[in-house]
Structure 1
Amino acid sequence: MDDDYGIVEYFYDHTGHRCGYCKSESTSLSCGMWAHRLTAGIYDDLLNRGWRRSGEYCYKPMMQKTCCCQYAIKLDVDNFQLSKSQKKLLKRVHKFLATGKRNESEKPDEKGDFCAELSGDGVVEMPDFTNKKSDVQIDLEACHLKSTEEKAANQDKKAVTCEPMDQDTGEPSVLPREETDSSTKKEAHVPKKGLGADPNKPLCRKARDIRRERWLLKQSKAGNDLNSDTTQASLSCLRKPKNEPKSLEDFLFEPLPPDAAHKLEVLLVRNSPDCPEFANSFGSALAVYFRYQQQIHKDPPEKLTERRYRRFLVNSPIQVKTVVSNEKSPEFEMTFGKSWKLFERYQMQVHKEPPSQCNRESYRQFLVDSPLQYDPKGPYSLGSFHQQYWLDGNLIAVGVIDI
């Protein structure tokens, strides 16, 4: 039987559901299907047509009817170019790894809030400035009163010290305002209109062109052939090389000092129970997910479960294909516990879910299970993966990636 096929179960229920962005109860409308098995090529075609997935559930929002429009997140890695903000972020990370220091603006506040991207489980809200309104008004009134008093004092001082006395009457004599202003003003110096560049002189030339001309003249006097390979090679050395932008690899693999304060390791783990490296980091990834949901999206702890984690971030319609049946990945098994603990802490702190909802089963269903097939053929391995970030031996973040 040909392996390049998919098995899906389409849902005909198009009624409204709760929106994770605006928190409306029945305004999120989408077409959905349960993907039991998908190849990477089929899922790529679905992405190009606006479909997304949450675990093994694939859906396409009805843009004309739904409350909050959602778009598939896809990156063309071959044509990817770093933005200015991304370059600054990579430089800050490199500085932190090398020195261990962070800027004050990068540190979390007392509530532990961090900047985050929007996701389907919540939206980052703006800070509340209503409580600071009265303080600002009081400060403005105080500043206005102070400036008024200073202005009045200056006017009184000018009236006392700047009015000359009349010698005949003994009374202050005040000059007319126009005469006073005209006596203090100086004549403005108006420069003469320029004539521009001297037409009899040659235009200003660049020093680079002058050096090149002198070198060519010197070579011609020495009797050298200007068209020879040696002369052309020497001439190319005089040309200023163009500044080429640094690539992503240049930023990622920038060397650290021998005594670096921290060590960062990034692992790409296939998110499948058959992958041992994924199973070993499952607990740590689950704890990171719990912390993120509780801190960023303010989810209650009772909402955070391993089942929810598996369904949302682990389950994938791209089915795994391996050479040996039921092959286990040692890396996944070794990090499964740490990934799950990370998911648990994330759900409890970010989404405020109870520990009972952050178990291993919820983590597997939400972020581990995937119907996407694993295809090791070709230059890239296709399927569902977990990208793990290890700082000084501790798992700090996990990203779910479909390739």
Structure 2
Amino acid sequence: MASVVEYKGLKAGYYCGYCQSREGKASCGLWAHSMTVQDYQDLIDRGWRRSGKYVYKPIMNQTCCPQYTIRCRPLQFQPSKSHKKVLKKMLKFLAKGEISKGSCEDEPMDSTMEDAVAGDFALMNKLDIKCDLKTLSSDLKGSIESEEKKEKSIKKEGSKELIHPQAIEEKLGSGEPSHSIKVHIGPKPGKGADLSKPPCRKAKEMRKERKRLKLMQQNSAGAFEGFQAQGQPVSLLPKAKTNQPKSLEDLIFESLPENSSHKLEFTRFLCNSPLEAEHPPNGPECGYGSFHQQYWLDGKIIAVGVIDILPYCVSSVYLYYDPDYSFLSLGVYSALREIAFTRQLHEKTSQLSYYYMGFYIHSCPKMRYKGQYRPSDLLCPETYVWVPIEQCLPSLDNSKYCRFNQDPQAEDEGRCKDLDRVRVFYRRSAMPFGVFKNQHNDPSEEPAVLEYANLVGQKCSERMLLFRN
């Protein structure tokens, strides 16, 4: 089994959804008629990413908003405070039916699209899905709506109904499930402060008070330990309070009471993609390939995430969700579940230990939130080595395009070194490019094949079959 691809070349001067430049984007692309999971793993490790069967690579030193491949290290991952808020919000909703009020501070709203190229409507990256159509430009909004009209709002798969990706809208401000945006005009006139009640305390003062009480408790516990050393009975000592932070799994898989208000279930099944499904004996139980992950709430499907399970990682693709449940921050919640899922796969398949989140765009402030999933690494756009994001940020603050590898002598070790060994597919036959070149004697073929081979790397160019007319 070999990947069969058709190189589409450079596409430059088209619309960017990150900075709204009408002709600032530049990328190279190829159409994947079929692709092995190992080839796609090697491609994303060279800055490529798929949207359906179209696989593209931003030209980093030319495009208006450089997109750096980012991966999280799930084995060392610790959820941040905002991540824990999302998980606790979901638990409260499931257990008691509570809907959190007030503004959602999990992550900023995004107004962005992945590359729409070669006539293929690009789907939103699952971590970029939280988007308000009202904040997009009219041109971009029109293109989204026109594409959505072409699709049916509901697709049948067996006896289950899948939600169409029409849920690209999320309310700003409060967490109430709604399609509209309420504008807060101003406070209503009141009667002033109630002098019969104590004055409101500032949050800073309350934190100081809690810290002072905690120190007093610690000091008293130390005094009791001193008494114990002098023969004081242990039963008189205060019980030690464990204050271990909950792990990601503790927060996600916390048991719910029997009378919970809601029930959330998950199903997973293979979905159509250019990736060929594989089930090696030493691989994960579900195998490698592209999967739909369905989120069912009380028997109703509310979200569908698409992931690629590859030899070394779980790669996030996109998420469809019902906008009525945007108050649950499903984009963040599904990402945290997928990080936990990567950990589970690692237990069976030790080399599978990364979670790829798509692209990190530092030049777009709203797109920096992916860097909050720590620890994480960015891919050097010149040498294709992984560098911890903390080392990359100072350089990105000074320039939107950066080489992260600090060794000035380092080169791209995977670049094309022997063009004649590139495999091509011509008239139903696979052959090295050297043989094809000698048969056709067409000098115009070589520049395009060389460009392709340098972008995909020598390893992939020798395994994949490049379609030639």
- The TM-score with structure 1 as length reference comes to 0.44
**Greater gyration radius:** 1
Higher relative contact order (CA 8 A, sep 6+): 2
More strand by share: 2
- The TM-score with structure 2 as length reference comes to 0.39
